[in-house]
Structure 1
Amino acid sequence: MYKSKGIQAYRKDSLKSDLASADPHRVIQLLMQGALEKLALGKGCIERGDFAGKADSLTRAVQIINGLRDALDRDANPELVDNLESLYDYMVVQITEASVSKDTKVIDHVMALILQIKGAWDKISPADKQMAYANQNEARVGAV
């Protein structure tokens, strides 16, 4: 029990440190990873019959997915944002359904969707990230 709490405290501090120095791209990567971890934990809780743990883990996964949805930049690519927003809404509905039905296959499906998005996100090159940040800064300066 003590080791587990120590590891959790270390991971929490490590995550805080990573977030404090992260660029927006890295923050989204960390959020996606966090959602995947909470979904996996929720799935394990269902399999073990730990329904309080299931509720906590899946609620946190939904909160993270809602955070991803709220972080979407509508100005960047409205059509893509609409598609991602719909997909995130779908995921939330599926997670809620999985929580009620205790169906781990639904959780696997949501995890696969997040992995697809994360895989595409992870392939964004440093040059493309820098170009996006530069364009974003230009848009802010032009708006002032």
Structure 2
Amino acid sequence: MSSEHMQIGEVAARTELSLRTIRHYEETGLVTPSARSQGGFRLYTETDVARLMVIRRMKPLGFTLDEMRDLLTATDRLDAPDAPDPAERAQLLERVRGYETAAARKIEDLRRQLARAEDFAATLRARTARTADDA
């Protein structure tokens, strides 16, 4: 086994994803191990880890598996050795920009939700402090 390949356990530790989640992403075609050991173990590269990190970052923003696949397909094509022609490149960049815009919008939604949650927690703290003072 080459030192550039990692087994799934190391990838799980590095990405903070469970083995089950990584296998699920493989089953759905989002990430395919770059190789297999002679014993049949999945072997991953830094590129595979980078793909998993993209997925891990998209998930809490509520992107679907299809959206993750679409973004990864677009970025794979942009990074391909046989560069896309200018028209295809422009279309791919527009797709990636669409995800960037969607991510920014989802982040703002999460910030609003977090502010509401913090207000709620502060209300509860104030309430329990008042109750404790009354005792």
Alignment TM-score, normalising by the size of structure 1:
0.34
Q: Flag the structure with higher helix content.
A: 1
Q: Flag the structure with higher strand content.
A: 2
Alignment TM-score, normalising by the size of structure 2:
0.35
Structure possessing the higher relative contact order (Cα contacts under 8 Å, 6 or more residues apart)? 1
Largest Rg, 1 or 2: 2
